[in-house]
Amino acid sequence: MHDFFRPTIQQMTPYAPGEQPGGGKLIKLNTNENPYPPSPKVVAAITHAAQRLERYPDPIGSAFCQRAGEVLGVDPDSILCGNGSDDILTIVTRAFVGEGDVLRMPTPSYILYRTLAQIQGAEVEEVPFADDFSLTEQFSAPTDRLKLCFLPNPNSPSGTVLKPQEIEQLADQLPCPLLVDEAYADFAEFNCLELVARNPKIMVSRTLSKSYGLAGLRFGFLVAAPELISTLRQVKDSYNCDALSLAGATAAIDDQDWLTENRKKVLATRAHMVESLRLLGFSVLDSHANFVWCTHSQPVQPLYEALKRDGVLVRYMKYAGWGEGLRISVGTDSQIDACLTMLKMHLGM
């Protein structure tokens, strides 16, 4: 039966998301979920929308685009709603990258991009970050078959961020569109939204999974030139967002007070994590996201395993040529204190 699949599908390396164990009393710090529940206004909007599910949803999510446009200061016609930002990344890849084309991404970063290229039968060009997680000239070099660049900013797993000026220069040099994946931008000090109106090659994707505490809702969106959005809407599934997620997302983006308050809590815990992990002997990069990337002079895989036995899930990651590290999501203060206590114990300190 396997022979019926396209050759590129037969050969692909599937993307493995972080573990999502069902139930139990785990402290889950492995997939960068927000440790706090979303705005109560989101839950109220969903409960209301659940009363009329027999009708199809608005195919383009006009109400969300309108409200998000006002809140973010962008044209509503420059917004594409997606079933999570994964859906956005899939739509964009399908629209720009075909068999034999090249998709460029930095490494180490979000390995899903590689899988998306492989499904298209495209070639993925992984350009290593410099040691300080800045981009090298190789990333902006124009090449023949290059059709799309993905750049996560802030990046995962490093938590580092590039300034908008650098990204604008990069886009000017590239021969193709550049998607800036801003999944974590609400936890950073700046973002690239304003660049979209200045350079139509720049597209910015966002998700409500992290900063709005809505990983379970599957809602993301793209901000790009309206002429790109109108064609991307032809590539997406007709009704790619359901009535519940559209209602919840509109309520979420409307409640900026909740976002401000949540961000403040997450950033305070993050500062405490960075400081404490350094005291435990970890090398920790300054983070601009809701997770912290840390490496150690001793192997960290045993630490990951020991934490897991304790009921604390963090993400162990290993990149060829880069070594290994732990990516620990910012949890509540008590979750982080528990994690730190166990790390200290396992380090014999």
Indicate whether 283 belongs to the interface with a second copy (CB under 8 A): no
Stretch that binds a second copy, among 32-40, 126-134, 135-143, 285-293 (CB under 8 A): 32-40
Name which position in 41, 58, 272, 319 contacts a second copy (CB under 8 A): 58
Name which position in 111, 117, 196, 217 contacts a second copy (CB under 8 A): 217
Note the maximum CA span of the chain. Answer: 60
Indicate whether 240 belongs to the interface with a second copy (CB under 8 A): yes
Per-residue CA distances from 210 to 27, 35, 233 (Å): 17, 9, 24
Site string for a second copy, 121-160 (x = CB under 8 A): x-------------------------x-------------
Nearest distance from C-beta of residue 23 to a second copy, angstroms: 11
Q: Which amino acid is at 75?
A: D
Indicate whether 235 belongs to the interface with a second copy (CB under 8 A): yes
Indicate whether 220 belongs to the interface with a second copy (CB under 8 A): no
Name which position in 237, 257, 261, 286 contacts a second copy (CB under 8 A): 237
What the block records as the tokens of 220 is: 């993301």
Stretch that binds a second copy, among 81-89, 103-111, 123-131, 298-306 (CB under 8 A): 81-89
Footprint (CB under 8 A) of a second copy, residues 157-186: 176-177
Indicate whether 218 belongs to the interface with a second copy (CB under 8 A): yes
Indicate whether 94 belongs to the interface with a second copy (CB under 8 A): yes
Pick between residue 233 and residue 346 the one whose CB is nearest to a second copy: 233
Answer yes or no: are the C-beta atoms of 233 and 60 closer than 8 Å.
yes
What the block records as the tokens of 121 is: 């039968």
Name which position in 80, 81, 90, 327 contacts a second copy (CB under 8 A): 90
Indicate whether 209 belongs to the interface with a second copy (CB under 8 A): yes
CA dist 100 and 114 (Å) reads 14
Name which position in 69, 77, 95, 319 contacts a second copy (CB under 8 A): 95
Name which position in 65, 196, 243, 251 contacts a second copy (CB under 8 A): 243
**Residues near a second copy (CB under 8 A), total:** 82
Pick between residue 242 and residue 310 the one whose CB is nearest to a second copy: 242
Neighbouring C-beta atoms of residue 340, cutoff 10 Å:
18
Indicate whether 20 belongs to the interface with a second copy (CB under 8 A): yes
Nearest distance from C-beta of residue 322 to a second copy, angstroms: 23
Indicate whether 290 belongs to the interface with a second copy (CB under 8 A): no
Pick between residue 237 and residue 286 the one whose CB is nearest to a second copy: 237
CA dist 138 and 3 (Å) reads 37
Indicate whether 67 belongs to the interface with a second copy (CB under 8 A): no
